[in-house]
Amino acid sequence: MAKDFPTRAENYAQWYQDLVIKADLAENSAVRGCMVIKPYGYAIWEKMQAVLDRKFKETGHSNAYFPLFIPKSFFSKEASHVEGFAKECAIVTHYRLKNAEDGNGVVVDPEAKLEEELIIRPTSETIIWNTYRGWIQSYRDLPILVNQWANVVRWEMRTRLFLRTAEFLWQEGHTAHATKEEAIEETKRMLDVYADFVENTMAVPVYKGVKTANERFAGALDTYCIEAMMQDGKALQAGTSHFLGQNFAKAFDVKFTGKDGKQDFVWATSWGVSTRLMGALVMAHSDDDGLVLPPKLAPIQVVIVPIHKNDEQLAAITVVANKIVDELKKLGISVKYDDRDTHKPGWKFSEYEFKGVPVRVAIGPRDLENGTVEVARRDTKEKSVMQLTDLTLKISHLLDHIQDNLYKKALTFREENTHHADSYDEFKKKIEQGGFVMAHWDGTTETELKIKEETKATIRCIPLNAKKEKGKCIFSGNDSEQRVIFAQAY
RNA sequence: CGGGGUGUAGCGUAGUCCGGUUAUCGCGCAUGGUUUGGGACCAUGAGGUCGCAGGUUCGAAUCCUGCCACCCCGACCA
């Protein structure tokens, strides 16, 4: 495995890029801006999907699937929605190719122009609300709680593996409700689901908050979000949940008759997380020696490496190793016994370290004599010799400890890099140093944009559950009710 | 989409300014042997449309034109 990639301190962006590629998570494809997610990376995504999908179902949602293509006319029905996405849409204009007349390959058949062009979905609100119109007549049809796992396309100028690609994978939940209160409740419920997932499964602490008007989703009344801090101090939006009000119901004429016999427009929410979470995962935990994966998402949680001088020793080690494998599997732990003779143990150690496998077990001749194994953990690099007695239980606990430790480490890092600022000078200085800066803001878009222009920092969110604290806006000096989170962001 | 940079074997590179036999070196790969508690060693070998397409020239990795891809910085965004 390559050692020739920069440390985080030397070049954070390059470190990330190299790590994603060299750890076999993903690579650039022949299509500009699009990535190939490789098996090891996809395995992590599948684990994320499995946990999230279970949580969605536990909160009453069902999966469905809507088309990749959206008629262009649907898009223009919700004004702010079009405005938000118009500049980054891929459009299908034709439906047939023909052989080129000069015999060189194929060309678009001009005869096969579509009457109405199709947009490749950048998100599915429009096609879904157009569909919901047919599903909803009465309050008895509500709520509709649907999620879809899908790919979407946003034609980005500048892309980075996982963090921003032209095509990405995600899930989008789209719900319909009879009342405003119920829709807002749903919006917040799903925000909590995301926060719980990112903190407990990904081991990444987040702030829950509301976006400012400026950062709001195109077509939403309120956008709730979770914001995480990466190791370079920048913020990364890890998930969003939108309260859409009646905007899409009005745009697509989706009404229902209430118990009182009166008609009203339906209330909506949408919420999503994407393969961007993969980027967050890498940037939150990994180090200069490679990936560090939280046990709950690691495709391989435990790897066993035999150390032997000859076939007899290997055979004896294999007996012990297989027993450990069986016991770990019974505990639901994914384990790999790597008895390949094509690589030396040292090579394997480095390889699995680079791939972020949380726990490594090495078994050699000395261990056979003593009834022990050597256990190494990836997060701290600590090694210890353990007795075979109760080994699998100890490993199981160790995995839990690693999961906890990663979260605590990330939390400590975030706390150490979160500062308060009470004047604009102090603010600029602290933003320069990186990290989050909690500061008072007067609530206007003008102030927000000016601060962004001068410092590159944006308001990541107005945190929920933060203590109210009167103060003066660092920029304008006007009154403010609470501090908001400023940071440079991905 | 604007500014800058890079493109030579799977990866990293020398050579490019100043054109000249068979394109350099390391890693990796294959085969054989010795090895195996932190990326082993020796020997032999395979692997190249020098990003692509034109052009200049007796001759192009090298000079010229156009294009493509990727990286960094900006604008835009999850």
A426-448 burial, b for 16+ CB within 10 Å, e for fewer?
Answer: ebbebbeebbbbbbbbbbbeebb
A107 CA, B14 C1': Å apart: 43
Q: Evaluate whether A205 touches A407 at the Cβ level (below 8 Å).
A: yes
Q: Are A237 and A248 in contact (CB under 8 A)?
A: no
- Distance separating alpha carbons of residues A297 and A411, to the nearest angstrom: 18
Residue nearest B38 (alpha carbon to C1'): A346
As given in the structure block, the two tokens for residue A5 are 């990639």
For B39, nearest residue by CA–C1' is A347
A147 CA to B16 C1' in angstroms comes to 56
User: Gap from A6 CA to B2 C1', in Å?
Assistant: 29
Task: Strand A222-229: give its sheet, edge to edge.
Answer: A62-63, A144-153, A167-177, A267-274, A235-245, A222-229, A207-210, A458-463, A483-487, A436-440, A418-420
Q: What is the mean pLDDT of residues A226-253?
A: 95
Whether A245 contacts A221, CB under 8 Å: yes
pLDDT digits (tens, 9 = 90+) for A49-79: 999 999 999 999 999 999 999 999 998 899 8
Pairwise CA distance, residues A186 & A222, whole Å: 13
Strands A167-177 and A144-153, by their bridges, are: antiparallel
Boundaries of CATH 3.30.930.10 in chain A? 12-69+124-285
Q: Chain B positions under 7 Å from a protein CB?
A: 1-2, 11-12, 35-40, 68-78
- What is the nearest nucleotide to A373, using C1' and CA? B37
Q: How many percent of chain A have pLDDT more than 70?
A: 99
Question: CA–C1' span, A102 to B56, in Å?
Answer: 28
Nearest-CA residue relative to C1' of B11: A2
Which part of chain A is CATH 3.40.50.800? Answer: 299-395
Identify nearest nucleotide to residue A122 by CA to C1′ distance. Answer: B78
CATH superfamily of A299-395: Anticodon-binding domain (3.40.50.800)
Task: Find and give the residue nearest to B73, measured CA to C1'.
Answer: A158
* Architecture in CATH for domain A12-69+124-285: 2-Layer Sandwich (3.30)
Say which nucleotide is closest to residue A352, CA to C1' distance.
Answer: B39
Position A475 pLDDT exceeds 80: yes
A162-186 pLDDT, tens per residue?
A: 999 999 999 999 999 999 999 999 9
Q: Beta partners for A132?
A: none
Quick one: which residue's CA is nearest to B71's C1'? A14
How far is residue A238's CA from residue A231's CA, in Å, rounded to a whole number?
A: 15
Protein CA at A318 to nucleotide C1' at B59, angstroms: 63
* CATH of A418-487 among 3.30.710.10, 3.30.70.3000, 3.30.110.30, 1.25.40.80: 3.30.110.30
Among all strands, which nt has the closest C1' to A305 (CA)? B37
Nucleotide at minimal C1' distance from the A160 CA: B71
Å: A157 CA to B75 C1' = 10
At residue A423 the predicted structure's pLDDT band, cuts being 50, 70 and 90, is very high
- Which nucleotide is the nearest neighbour of A289, by CA and C1'? B39
- Kindly report the pTM of this predicted structure: 0.96
Question: What are the backbone angles phi and psi of residue A350, rounded to the nearest 5°?
Answer: -65, -45
pLDDT of residue A380: 97
Tell me the pLDDT tens digit for each residue of A379-401: 999 999 999 999 999 999 999 99
Task: Check residue A402 and give its pLDDT.
Answer: 98
The strand pair at A302-306 and A335-337 is best described as parallel
Q: How much of chain A exceeds pLDDT 90, in percent?
A: 82
Residue A99 to residue A106: CA distance in whole angstroms:
4
pLDDT for residue A1 is more than 60: no
Q: Tell me the nt nearest to A1, Cα to C1'.
A: B39
**ipTM score assigned to the predicted complex:** 0.89
Going by the DSSP 8-state scheme, the letter that residue A466 receives in this structure is P
Predicted confidence (pLDDT) at residue A103 exceeds the cutoff of 70: no
CA–C1' span, A19 to B46, in Å?
A: 30
Q: For chain A, report the end-to-end CA distance as a whole number of angstroms.
A: 29
Smallest CA–C1' separation from A290, nucleotide: B39
> What is the rounded average pLDDT of the residues A408-426?
96
Q: How far is the CA of A88 from the C1' of B8 (A)?
A: 36
In chain A, list all ranges with CATH 3.30.110.30: 418-487
Confidence band for A11, pLDDT divided at 50, 70 and 90: confident
CB neighbour burial string for A14-40, b if at least 16 within 10 angstroms, e if fewer: ebbbbbbbbbebbeeeeeebebebeeb
Tell me the CA–C1' distance in angstroms for A314 and B35.
Answer: 15
Please count the other Cβ atoms lying within 10 Å of the Cβ belonging to residue A365. Answer: 16
As a rounded value in angstroms, the CA-to-C1' distance for A195 and B61 is 54
CA of A1 to C1' of B18 (A): 40
Nearest in space to A355 (alpha carbons), one of A307, A287, A410: A287
The pLDDT of residue A250 is above 90? yes
Confidence of residue A362 (pLDDT cuts 50, 70, 90): very high
- Closest nucleotide to A364's CA, by C1' atom? B37
- The more confidently predicted of residues A409 and A17 is A409
Distance of A396 CA from B4 C1′ (whole Å): 51
